A and B are shown apart, each in its own frame.
Chain A
Amino acid sequence: MIMLAFLAQTLRIAIPYLFASAGGVISERAGLIGLTLEGYMLGAAFTAAVGSHYSGSPWIGALCGIAGGVAMAMLYAVCSLRFRANQIVVGIAINLLAIGLTRVFLRFIFDSSSNSSRVAGFGSETGGGLAALVSNPLIWLGLATVPALAWVLYRTPFGLRVRAVGEHPDAAASVGVRVNRVRYAAAALSGMLAGLGGVYLVLDQHQFTDQMTAGRGFIAIAATIFGRWDPVRVALACLLFAAAETMQIQLQGMKIVPSQFLEILPYVLTIIALAGVVGRAVPPAALGKTTEPV
């Protein structure tokens, strides 16, 4: 019984990570650094809340959220590809932009600096429980993303081109692949997927709260790196991190291990992966290399 509850909660926590890290994988595999996942999630969460608020339908809300995520991704892609701006700095700025814009419009539309009004969503009002979980379509969508992403990446021409473009864009260009077009498509997908992570959060809690993503986008990128940019491994990493988080919540009252120590587990694991202590995490070779040659 406890085991089931543990699994259920882990799954609930993992879904946003699964969505966002899927976005991270497709983006980074194509050569675009995925620091912006946090911004996509937050922006999409807000637009989803707005959409759901005005239409009364969570489905419309979800679509609006996706649109929001894609819009932010396109902004990032244009800055990186057309203007050749430094991806890292622009990425951080996009995250800040998401925070700022959501706060401004939170005031403007909902007249509050902390949360929106109640909106129609998917999650059960009372939260928790396996039944509530099963009835949320986004849970199924989130789980489906893993095999879907693996299939797209390894079994479609588009996925092949994404992988080529992220490793050796010159080789891809030499056989006629439109490198930037592939990257724009990958960015759009990344915005959509990460956006779904934010959509899930909002529609599950039935409201948008200021900065509600709370760093999940960074855990997602940590999972992407820790999982070595492979969809299945990344998904496992997400489950691992989610399990650690569940443990942290459950142990909170008990003072066995300070909660902060479990909280930092994903970040520590990622640094270890990068330092190559347990095998090397080698990113796609052309990752981040869209800046102007000097």
Chain B
Amino acid sequence: MNSKVRDTLVEGVVPSVVALMIALVVGDILILVFGESPLAVYRLLLEGTWGNAYGLGQVLYKATTLIFTGLAVAIGVRAGLFNIAAESQLAAGGFAAAMTGLLLPATVPAVVAIPLCMLAAMAAGGLLGGVPGVLKARFGAHEVIVTIMLNFIVLALLSYLISAHFHVPESLHTEEIRTGSIPRLTAASSYFAGSAANFTIIVALIAAAAVWVLLFRTRAGYELRAVGLQPEAAEYGGVKVPSVVIRTFLISGALAGLGGINYVLGYKHYYEEGFASGAGFLGIAVALVGRSHPLGIVLSALLFATLSQGGLAVNALVPKQMVEVLQAVVIIAVMTSIPEVRRALRGARPVPAT
């Protein structure tokens, strides 16, 4: 194996593996604090997720949303940008999809309605993504704070729209959409009986493949990655860096927004306040553990979804909130091991004198 491939693999995989091991250790400690046996807990976790049909369905369902938000964050990271607003873009996308599904008459066939709703979701997320993009490109405003602030603003505005105008009485959700529902997986096979898993997962996998093509096979992706790696060299190569910043944020927002259809079109068939429930922030973890690579993101999304669903399964033994602790530990562990691994690799191979 030539050294380039080996180095890429090492730099890509080792930090994630190290992080997971550290998380495992921390998990063990916490489980013991609660007086339970780690082995018993892990077994229950696996049984409750991959071990039964309903659990597996739930894992697939949760992973679907995480794939979208993970891709959204990852494409930003590849360009050297941080999209912390995936959470609100996700919510806004779901809202837009719900509104479209409500506005379209029921007679519109699914094959037209679903794409229209998807477009609405992407447009909503993308437009919101454009805000930090433009502010950064034009004014140099740091996108981290802008996106964090935007989260609060957008979620508050959505809350207002629901509570003041669109909610069904006694609830925090809209009416059911008239058209544009995406069938559950149970429609195809009875295996996933009762779970929320639906065919949005196909869309998610297609999105992952599309992002892969974009990043590694297109000119736009070539320029995007160059901007993230060495903006001075990109500028030298004729790339217009501010345009790339704006474009990247638009795509990132659109991806996050598209994730909203999982809940709105595929599960409940309405928009409900708070449906995002942290998937936007988890997307950051998914992207990092997945090393901002679509394949890594899919695997990482499955991992985090497993943890999340597993938390529910083991709730009898240990608090499901432990999963949140583990998620945070994984992020910290990955972020601290990346520079360490990089330093170890560079130290081993002497940099030629210039």
Partner-B contacts on A (CB < 8 A): 33, 35, 75, 79, 83-86, 88-90, 92-94, 96-97, 99-101, 103-104, 106-108, 113, 215, 218, 221-222, 225, 258-261, 263-264, 267-268, 270-271, 274-276, 283, 291-292
Measured between beta carbons, the chain B residues less than 8 angstroms from A83 are 335-336, 339-340
Residue of B nearest to A88 (CB): B144
- B190 CB to closest chain A CB, in angstroms? 34
- Tell whether, in the assembled complex, residue B149 and residue A86 are in contact, meaning their CB atoms are under 8 Å apart: no
Measured between beta carbons, the chain A residues less than 8 angstroms from B152 are 215, 218, 263-264, 267
Residue of B nearest to A82 (CB): B336
Separation of A227 and B141 alpha carbons in the complex (Å): 16
Residue of A nearest to B138 (CB): A275
- A82 CB to closest chain B CB, in angstroms? 9
User: Would you list the 8 A-B pairs with minimal beta carbon distance, nearest first?
Assistant: A100-B324, A100-B325, A103-B321, A97-B328, A93-B331, A96-B328, A267-B149, A83-B336
Measured between beta carbons, the chain A residues less than 8 angstroms from B339 are 83-85, 291-292
**8 Å CB contact of B146 from A101, A103, A274, A283:** A274
Separation of A90 and B329 alpha carbons in the complex (Å): 10
- Tell whether, in the assembled complex, residue A96 and residue B324 are in contact, meaning their CB atoms are under 8 Å apart: yes
Separation of A120 and B327 alpha carbons in the complex (Å): 33
Measured between beta carbons, the chain A residues less than 8 angstroms from B144 are 33, 35, 88
* CB pairs A–B below 8 angstroms (12 shown): A93-B332, A93-B335, A96-B327, A96-B328, A97-B325, A103-B319, A260-B160, A263-B156, A267-B152, A268-B149, A271-B153, A274-B139
Other than the given A218-B148, A271-B135, 16 more pairs (CB < 8 A) read A35-B144, A86-B335, A88-B82, A90-B336, A92-B284, A100-B321, A100-B327, A104-B30, A108-B33, A113-B321, A222-B145, A222-B149, A261-B160, A267-B152, A276-B139, A292-B339
Query: Which of B82, B141, B284, B288 lies at the interface centre, i.e. has the most chain A CB atoms within 10 A of its CB?
Result: B141
Given A92-B331, A93-B331, A276-B139: A104 and B325 interface contact (C-beta under 8 Å): yes
Given A107-B319, A264-B152, A264-B153: A276 and B141 interface contact (C-beta under 8 Å): yes
- Tell whether, in the assembled complex, residue B150 and residue A271 are in contact, meaning their CB atoms are under 8 Å apart: yes
- Tell whether, in the assembled complex, residue A89 and residue B321 are in contact, meaning their CB atoms are under 8 Å apart: no
- Tell whether, in the assembled complex, residue B319 and residue A113 are in contact, meaning their CB atoms are under 8 Å apart: yes
Residue of B nearest to A99 (CB): B324
Residue of A nearest to B139 (CB): A275
Measured between beta carbons, the chain A residues less than 8 angstroms from B323 are 100
Residue of A nearest to B156 (CB): A260
The interface residues of chain B, by DSSP majority, are classed as helix
- Tell whether, in the assembled complex, residue A92 and residue B338 are in contact, meaning their CB atoms are under 8 Å apart: no
- B284 CB to closest chain A CB, in angstroms? 6
- A183 CB to closest chain B CB, in angstroms? 17
Measured between beta carbons, the chain B residues less than 8 angstroms from A100 are 321-328
Separation of A83 and B284 alpha carbons in the complex (Å): 20
Residue of B nearest to A76 (CB): B332
Residue of B nearest to A97 (CB): B328
- B123 CB to closest chain A CB, in angstroms? 22
Number of residues in B with C-beta < 8 Å to the partner?
45
Separation of A35 and B148 alpha carbons in the complex (Å): 10
* B43 located at the interface, meaning its Cβ lies under 8 Å from any Cβ of chain A in the complex: no
- A284 CB to closest chain B CB, in angstroms? 12
- B76 CB to closest chain A CB, in angstroms? 12
**8 Å CB contact of B164 from A101, A258, A291:** A258
Query: Which of B150, B153, B322, B343 lies at the interface centre, i.e. has the most chain A CB atoms within 10 A of its CB?
Result: B153
- B342 CB to closest chain A CB, in angstroms? 7
Separation of A270 and B145 alpha carbons in the complex (Å): 9
- Tell whether, in the assembled complex, residue B321 and residue A104 are in contact, meaning their CB atoms are under 8 Å apart: yes
- Tell whether, in the assembled complex, residue B157 and residue A94 are in contact, meaning their CB atoms are under 8 Å apart: no
Measured between beta carbons, the chain B residues less than 8 angstroms from A276 are 139, 141
* B34 located at the interface, meaning its Cβ lies under 8 Å from any Cβ of chain A in the complex: yes
Measured between beta carbons, the chain B residues less than 8 angstroms from A92 are 84, 281, 284, 331
**8 Å CB contact of B335 from A90, A101, A271:** A90
Residue of A nearest to B135 (CB): A275
* B142 located at the interface, meaning its Cβ lies under 8 Å from any Cβ of chain A in the complex: yes
* B159 located at the interface, meaning its Cβ lies under 8 Å from any Cβ of chain A in the complex: yes
- B249 CB to closest chain A CB, in angstroms? 14
Separation of A261 and B325 alpha carbons in the complex (Å): 33
Separation of A292 and B284 alpha carbons in the complex (Å): 21
- Tell whether, in the assembled complex, residue B156 and residue A264 are in contact, meaning their CB atoms are under 8 Å apart: yes
Measured between beta carbons, the chain B residues less than 8 angstroms from A79 are 332, 335-336
**8 Å CB contact of B34 from A101, A108, A260, A275:** A108
- B341 CB to closest chain A CB, in angstroms? 11
Measured between beta carbons, the chain B residues less than 8 angstroms from A283 are 142
- Tell whether, in the assembled complex, residue B135 and residue A89 are in contact, meaning their CB atoms are under 8 Å apart: no
- Tell whether, in the assembled complex, residue A274 and residue B321 are in contact, meaning their CB atoms are under 8 Å apart: no
Separation of A89 and B287 alpha carbons in the complex (Å): 11
Measured between beta carbons, the chain A residues less than 8 angstroms from B336 are 79, 83, 85, 90
- Tell whether, in the assembled complex, residue B141 and residue A96 are in contact, meaning their CB atoms are under 8 Å apart: no
**8 Å CB contact of B319 from A84, A85, A89, A108:** A108
Residue of B nearest to A103 (CB): B321
Measured between beta carbons, the chain B residues less than 8 angstroms from A94 are 328, 332
